[in-house]
Every structure is written in structure tokens, then in C-alpha cells.
């Protein structure tokens, strides 16, 4: 078999914020490091991030500190987050932002020259460091420049299809060049998964083509567990019209900067959806909510800035009750609330996005918005301090890792998560590689098996085309395992997923290995199917509603489930099993934070 071979200490799969930060850390710790990414370097999902990086720097409000950020994050996740991850994240995020600045990132400034921090849902104080509404672009630019300057090897437009293991743990990775279709293998004692999320399992999503759950599935296949998979974040505000742009994100900064949600009767409906859990910290009247933008100390936050799960459900209910727009959304209005110049300065990308894609001038008229699948809270179960999965030598950071965000992620907490845990993963991966130096080798049989599996779609004739199968899977997840779920619907989804698995096993692709998108999708589909199955199985098991998981047949949170996580793992017969696991015990000094006033 023709195969390109390489040897490294650490192979990082993914070149978004988590992957690049991991690669920098591993390289700085002396590891021979490679980064592999499906698309061109710089094109990762991170580049699309708009609003900012959450970090309790105290620039806007000196009373902000890591404890408040920790508390907000845990409450946003309805207390299912791994407390230690939330603690490390809140403690280390400010240093990671300052470090980015040292490496050349140019953040927006406060009038007295500090890094500016903006408001976002669920954060008590304005704490998102940002660059207009193009923060991800600046983050990626900075990390990419540093990665390249340090001399880390980059394999771009190259897809990893398998993490290789032996009885002792990871031995490397196997993949193919997307352009030529040729195979490539990396021998390495440490592999860091930083592959992002699973959005392409759903029909309406803010995610790009790359988000097919590869890392989730590769980890599962290698023997790792996936935690919290039932929790999928539907961002409340995606574009709804025209159909070709449905799902594209409308940043939460629009609401952070004063935008409000209205139904077709013009009512600011979020006041009708304030849950008891957040009542004490949410404004009761429009006057109080509006005063909050100028005086946060003496007023409570507007309900439009409740955590995303609450706002997405409220929009869903308004539309269902017949109070939506003709295109099935609601109105997001900043035009009547802020001067045109302010909107263009604070939200330049949104202004252009609506002007170019929908012919809507957001400084003059309201946007039409509705929920869109945005982020997966579930991911590889890792040790909080090292980002190590249960398979020795396997690490995971960023959106592919689970535990940090519990049942719901707060806006801005992903970019900070990437930096904090990307760095920790890179350092621990380098350390593991030192211990395993000279002890790993690629096994020919395993390489041959990986190649056979990759070529299988060419060997079959007359099968379905992969695009039809992907479409049917997305429709199934949208209809049956979406924002609101019930047991009969999820059971039906599992039956359909099983049928789709048979269709995937039989599908065939035409042509040859040189740049063949149909073949690429055929190899992505098993990943999408297995993550969809994990989501559905965990969603069926959790008989309560919490964060990004709403069961119409169990509409309230259940205290017992509030102490339990679900972990998916491969079963002996190659299926997916779900096990209950008690939450890790939070130490008393951290538990005290929740007794203080909101
Ligand atoms: P990514 O940045 O997506 O990188 C994944 C990498 O993995 C890519 O390089 C990809 O090519 C590679 N990859 C995947 N599979 C394979 C494979 N099989 N082989 C090789 N390479 C592979 N979060 C915030 O905190 N603040 C925000 O303001 C914000 N705004 C957002 C706006 C939008 C439109 C979207 C979609 C998300 C936003 N988020 C935001 C969420 C945040 O951007 C993502 O969660 C985060 O960027 C994920 O980073 P990552 O490094 O984990 O993955």
C-alpha cells in the first residue's frame, strides 16, 4: 500500500483556536508537533466567532473576578458542568487573553485604554474581550502567525479518519489528503483532538461543512467516553430568511448592545418567559431593563440576555403560538433602539451580513431571527487539569471536549475554553510523549484496515449517494431530536438512525480519489451517525428538562438528574451504550460562591 509516513511526539487534529493553542504549548514544551486540518489553515470554525472571549479581567467592572465568572458559568450550565473545568477556565481566561495581546492581537479598547469588555447573556458583568464582531478572526490570525513562526508543521486539507491505538494507548493517526486522496499516517504517542462540533447533524445550523463530529466519533472508536451528549445548544438568533441563508448566526452582541426581541404583535415577549431560577437577577419591566445598559449596578439585566436555552425556547413557543413572522421567526430590533452610526460601528459584520444576504438594513428595520443549531456541550470526557481522555495518549480540547459547559454554554465561554484547555492539552500531550518516547510504532495491519475502510465506498456499486443520506439524517435530527423532545419521537429517531446506518454501509461513490467531495462526505457520514445516535440515546435516557435538553414529556428539572451525568461509550458489539455517572463533588469553598447574593 502506498502510504506517506511521518513521526511526531504530538499530533494535533484541528487548527481552530483549541488546536493551535495546543500546538503552541506542545511545541514550546519541546515536543515535535504537527497540526492536521481538514480545510485551509485559518479557515477553522473559530474564525467565524463574532462576539468575544469571556474573561473576568475587571476592565469594565472592577468587582468582576474569577469567582463571579465561575458562578455564572455553572449556573448557565445548570450545575452539570465539571466544577474543576469551570474553575480553571474562570481563573486562567484573563491570562490567556493578555497573552494573545502580547502575541499581537488588537482588541477594542475602553476610553482609558484597557481591553474593552462587552455584555453577553448569562454573564453578570460585561466581560467579553472583543474586536468589533470579528473576534474569532483576530484570535485565529494571532495564533496562526505564532504557530507558523514557531515552525510547527501543518498538514492542511488533510482529513484524519482514525486514531491508531495498541494495548498501551495511542500510537498515531491515519488520514488522507483531500486533494489527491492519498493516504498518510503519523506515528505519535500523543494525539490531541481539537476537531470542533457536530452541527452538520442538523438541518438548520450556524456551523460550516467541517462540523461533522469527527473527533467525537474518533474518540469513541478509540475507547474514550462522551459526556453530556444530550445537550445541544440552539442559538436563539439565526437568520430565517431567505431560505438559502437560514441558520446563519446573528450574534448575541446585537442583544448585548441593546437589541430586543418582539413578536408579530410588537410585544417584547421575553418578559413572559423569565424562569424562577433567574428571576432575582432579571429586570421585571422594560424601563428597568433599558436602564441596565447605562447603570448595571442598580438595575437588573434585560430578559433578552437570559442564557441561550431560555431565549431559544421562548422564541420557539412564540412561533408555535402563532405570534411569529410569516417566515417562522420573530423580530430582533436594534434599529429603533440605537443610532445607525452606533450599530454600524459595533456590529459591522451583522450590518453587511443582512444587507448583502437578505437586503435588510438593520439600522432602519428589524431582523427576522429564529433558533439554529450552534454548539454541542457534549464531548470527550477528559481530566480537567490535563485534558486527557481515558485512552492513554489521547487528549481533547475545545468544542470536541465535554464537561466544561454542563447543560448549556454561555456566549463567549467557548473562545476562552479553547485557549485555557488548548494550552493545558498541549502541555500534557508533550509530557505524555516524553514518557512514551521510543515505545510506540505503527502496526501495518491496522494501517491496512484503515485504508480498506476508507476505500470501501468505491468498492460498492449501485448504492445510494451520500448527499441523500446526509439530508435524511439532518431532517431526522431536526424533526425528532431538536429543541423540544419527547420519548416517542426520540425512539423513532433511533429507529431511523439504525436504518440510515445500513444505508451508509451500502452507499457507493463514483469517480476516483482525486478531490472527490462525495467520497469525503461518505467518510464523514459514519461520524455524523454515531454522534447523532449518542445525542438521541442520551436524550431518551434523561427524563427531565435542563439547559440544552428540553423534554415535553418531562418539562421540569429533576433534582436527581441534577446530580447525574450521562456518558456514552462503545459497547462490545460495536453499538453505543449510555451509562449514568454521579457528578464530581464540588469542594465546600467553591460551593459557598452559590450562597452569595446574585
Ligand atoms: P474549530 O475552530 O472548528 O476547529 C476545528 C478544526 O478541526 C478545523 O481546523 C477542522 O478543519 C479540523 N477538523 C475537523 N475534523 C477533522 C478531521 N477529521 N481531520 C482533520 N481535521 C479536522 N464562541 C465564543 O466564545 N464567542 C463567540 O463570539 C462565538 N461566536 C460564534 C459565531 C459563530 C458563527 C459560530 C459558528 C460559533 C461561535 N462561537 C463563539 C463558538 C466557537 O466559535 C466555537 O465553539 C469554537 O471556535 C470551536 O473551536 P475549536 O478549536 O474547538 O474548533
The confidence band for 309, taking pLDDT boundaries of 50, 70 and 90, is confident
The number of the ligand 1 atom at minimal distance from the alpha carbon of 140 is 2
Alpha carbon nearest to ligand 1 atom 31, residue: 49
Q: Which of 15, 45, 72 to mutate to test the pocket of ligand 1 (most atoms within 8 A of CB)?
A: 45
86-114: average pLDDT: 96
Q: Which of 35, 36, 46 to mutate to test the pocket of ligand 1 (most atoms within 8 A of CB)?
A: 46
Question: Positive or negative CA dihedral for 396, 400, 405, 409?
Answer: positive
Structure-block grid coordinates of residue 391: 485512552
Contacts of 439 (CB under 8 A, 6+ apart): 168, 189
Distance 43 CA to ligand 1 centre (A): 9
**Phi, psi (rounded to 5 degrees) for 34:** -125, 150
287-296: average pLDDT: 92
Collapsing DSSP to helix, strand or coil, 12 comes out as strand
The confidence band for 38, taking pLDDT boundaries of 50, 70 and 90, is very high
Query: What percent of the chain has pLDDT above 90?
Result: 91
Place of cell 410588537: 266
Distance 478 CA to ligand 1 centre (A): 21
Indicate whether residue 250 lines ligand 1 (CB < 6 A).
Answer: no
419-436: average pLDDT: 98
Indicate whether residue 393 lines ligand 1 (CB < 6 A).
Answer: no
- For the domain covering 458-582, report its CATH number: 1.20.58.100
The confidence band for 297, taking pLDDT boundaries of 50, 70 and 90, is confident
Question: Positive or negative CA dihedral for 473, 477, 478, 480?
Answer: positive
Residue 441 has pLDDT above 70, yes or no: yes
107-135: average pLDDT: 92
Please give the pLDDT value at position 2: 83
Indicate whether residue 13 lines ligand 1 (CB < 6 A).
Answer: yes
415-420: average pLDDT: 98
Structure-block grid coordinates of residue 437: 518516547
Q: Which of 49, 130, 379 to mutate to test the pocket of ligand 1 (most atoms within 8 A of CB)?
A: 49
Common-topology check for domains 3-232+375-444 and 234-373: no
Indicate whether residue 252 lines ligand 1 (CB < 6 A).
Answer: no
201 exposure class (CB count in 10 Å sphere: 0-12, 13-18, 19+):
buried
What is the set of active-site residues?
308
Structure-block grid coordinates of residue 125: 458583568
The number of the ligand 1 atom at minimal distance from the alpha carbon of 38 is 11
Indicate whether residue 205 lines ligand 1 (CB < 6 A).
Answer: no
Distance 194 CA to ligand 1 centre (A): 9
Place of cell 502510504: 3
549-573 confidence digits (pLDDT tens): 999 999 999 999 999 999 999 998 8
| Nearest residue to 83 via CA among 98, 73, 94 | 73
Please give the pLDDT value at position 380: 98
Q: What is the 3-state composition of the chain as percent helix, strand, coil, each rounded to the nearest 5? A: 40, 20, 40
In 10 A of CB 206, how many CB atoms? 24
Please give the pLDDT value at position 597: 53
Please give the pLDDT value at position 596: 66
Looking at residue 129, the DSSP 8-state letter turns out to be E
Give the pairing type, strands 564-570 and 576-582. Answer: antiparallel
Give the pairing type, strands 190-193 and 550-551. Answer: unpaired
515-546 confidence digits (pLDDT tens): 999 999 999 999 999 999 999 999 999 999 99
Structure-block grid coordinates of residue 262: 418582539
**Phi, psi (rounded to 5 degrees) for 237:** -120, 95
Contacts of 444 (CB under 8 A, 6+ apart): none
Residue 448 has pLDDT above 60, yes or no: yes
ipTM for the whole complex: 0.99
**Phi, psi (rounded to 5 degrees) for 396:** -145, 135
Asked if residue 74 lies in contact with residue 86, where contact means CB atoms within 8 angstroms, the answer is yes
Q: How many CA atoms lie within 13 A of 583 on its CB side?
A: 23
Average pLDDT, the chain: 95
- Please tell me the CATH superfamily of domain 3-232+375-444, with its number: FAD/NAD(P)-binding domain (3.50.50.60)
Sequence ranges of the domains in the chain: 3-232+375-444, 234-373, 458-582
105-131: average pLDDT: 93
Length of the chain: 598
Helices H / strands E in the chain, number of each: 17, 22
Please give the pLDDT value at position 411: 93
Indicate whether residue 46 lines ligand 1 (CB < 6 A).
Answer: yes
Please give the pLDDT value at position 549: 97
Q: Which of 11, 43, 44 to mutate to test the pocket of ligand 1 (most atoms within 8 A of CB)?
A: 44
- For the domain covering 234-373, report its CATH number: 3.90.700.10
Alpha carbon nearest to ligand 1 atom 39, residue: 49
Distance 46 CA to ligand 1 centre (A): 4
Please give the pLDDT value at position 34: 98
375-409 confidence digits (pLDDT tens): 999 999 999 999 999 999 999 999 999 999 999 99
Indicate whether residue 375 lines ligand 1 (CB < 6 A).
Answer: yes
Please give the pLDDT value at position 573: 86
Contacts of 25 (CB under 8 A, 6+ apart): 422, 423, 424, 425, 426, 427, 430
Collapsing DSSP to helix, strand or coil, 35 comes out as strand
Distance from C-alpha of 112 to C-alpha of 145, rounded to nearest angstrom: 28
Distance from C-alpha of 78 to C-alpha of 69, rounded to nearest angstrom: 14
Amino acid at each position: 500500500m502506498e502510504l506517506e509516513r511521518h513521526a511526531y511526539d504530538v499530533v494535533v487534529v484541528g487548527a481552530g483556536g483549541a488546536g493551535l493553542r495546543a500546538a503552541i504549548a506542545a511545541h514550546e514544551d519541546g515536543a515535535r508537533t504537527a497540526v492536521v486540518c481538514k480545510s485551509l489553515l485559518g479557515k477553522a470554525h473559530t474564525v467565524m466567532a463574532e462576539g468575544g472571549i469571556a474573561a473576568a479581567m475587571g476592565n469594565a467592572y472592577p468587582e468582576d473576578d474569577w469567582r463571579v465568572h465561575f458562578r455564572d458559568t455553572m449556573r448557565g450550565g445548570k450545575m452539570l458542568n465539571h466544577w474543576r473545568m469551570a474553575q480553571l477556565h474562570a481563573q486562567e481566561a484573563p491570562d490567556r487573553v493578555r497573552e494573545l495581546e502580547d502575541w499581537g492581537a488588537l482588541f477594542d479598547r475602553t476610553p482609558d485604554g484597557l481591553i474593552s469588555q462587552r455584555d453577553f447573556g448569562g454573564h453578570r458583568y460585561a466581560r467579553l474581550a472583543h474586536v468589533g464582531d470579528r473576534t474569532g478572526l483576530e484570535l485565529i490570525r494571532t495564533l496562526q502567525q505564532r504557530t507558523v513562526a514557531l515552525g510547527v508543521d501543518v498538514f492542511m486539507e488533510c482529513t484524519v479518519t482514525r486514531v491508531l491505538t495498541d494495548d498501551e494507548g495511542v500510537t498515531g493517526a491515519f488520514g488522507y489528503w483531500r486533494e489527491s486522496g492519498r493516504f498518510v499516517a503519523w506515528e505519535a504517542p500523543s494525539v490531541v483532538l481539537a476537531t470542533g462540533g457536530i452541527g452538520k447533524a442538523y438541518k438548520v445550523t450556524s456551523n460550516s461543512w467541517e462540523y461533522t463530529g469527527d473527533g467525537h466519533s474518533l474518540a469513541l472508536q478509540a475507547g474514550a467516553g462522551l459526556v453530556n451528549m444530550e445537550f445541544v445548544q440552539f442559538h436563539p438568533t439565526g437568520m430565517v430568511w431567505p431560505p438559502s441563508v437560514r441558520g446563519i448566526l446573528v450574534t448575541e452582541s446585537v442583544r448585548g448592545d441593546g437589541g430586543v426581541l418582539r413578536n408579530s404583535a410588537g410585544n417584547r415577549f421575553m418578559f413572559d418567559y423569565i424562569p424562577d431560577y433567574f428571576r432575582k437577577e432579571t429586570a421585571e419591566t422594560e424601563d428597568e431593563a433599558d436602564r441596565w445598559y447605562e447603570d448595571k449596578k442598580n438595575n437588573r439585566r434585560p430578559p433578552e440576555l437570559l442564557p441561550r436555552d431560555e431565549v431559544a425556547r421562548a422564541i420557539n413557543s412564540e412561533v408555535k403560538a402563532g405570534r411569529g413572522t410569516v417566515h417562522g421567526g420573530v423580530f430582533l430590533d436594534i434599529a429603533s433602539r440605537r443610532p445607525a452610526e452606533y450599530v454600524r460601528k459595533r456590529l459591522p459584520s451583522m450590518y453587511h451580513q443582512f444587507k448583502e444576504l437578505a437586503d435588510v438594513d438593520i439600522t432602519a428595520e428589524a431582523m427576522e431571527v429564529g433558533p439554529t443549531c450552534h454548539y454541542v456541550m457534549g464531548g470527550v470526557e477528559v481530566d480537567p487539569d490535563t485534558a486527557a481522555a481515558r485512552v492513554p495518549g489521547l487528549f481533547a480540547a475545545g468544542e470536541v471536549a465535554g464537561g466544561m459547559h454542563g447543560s448549556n454554554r454561555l456566549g463567549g465561554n467557548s473562545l476562552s475554553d479553547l485557549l485555557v484547555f488548548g494550552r493545558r492539552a498541549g502541555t500534557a500531550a508533550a509530557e505524555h510523549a516524553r514518557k512514551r518516547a521510543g515505545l510506540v510504532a505503527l502496526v501495518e495491519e491496522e494501517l491496512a484496515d484503515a485504508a480498506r475502510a476508507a476505500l470501501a465506498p468505491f468498492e460498492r456499486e449501485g448504492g445510494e449517494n451520500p448527499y441523500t443520506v446526509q439530508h435524511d439524517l439532518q431532517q431526522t435530527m431536526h424533526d425528532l431530536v431538536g429543541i423540544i423532545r419527547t420519548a416517542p419521537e426520540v425512539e423513532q429517531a433511533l429507529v431511523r438512525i439504525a436504518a440510515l446506518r445500513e444505508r451508509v454501509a451500502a452507499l457507493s461513490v463514483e469517480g476516483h480519489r482525486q478531490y472527490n467531495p462525495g467520497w469525503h462526505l461518505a467518510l464523514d457520514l459514519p461520524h455524523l451517525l454515531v454522534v447523532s445516535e449518542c445525542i438521541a440515546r442520551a436524550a431518551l435516557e434523561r427524563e427531565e428538562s435542563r439547559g440544552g435538553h428540553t423534554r415535553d414529556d418531562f418539562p421540569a428539572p429533576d433534582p436527581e438528574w441534577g446530580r447525574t451525568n450521562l456518558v456514552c461509550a462503545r459497547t462490545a458489539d460495536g453499538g453505543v451504550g449510555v451509562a449514568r455517572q454521579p457528578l464530581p463533588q464540588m469542594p465546600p469553598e467553591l460551593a459557598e460562591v452559590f450562597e452569595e447574593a446574585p
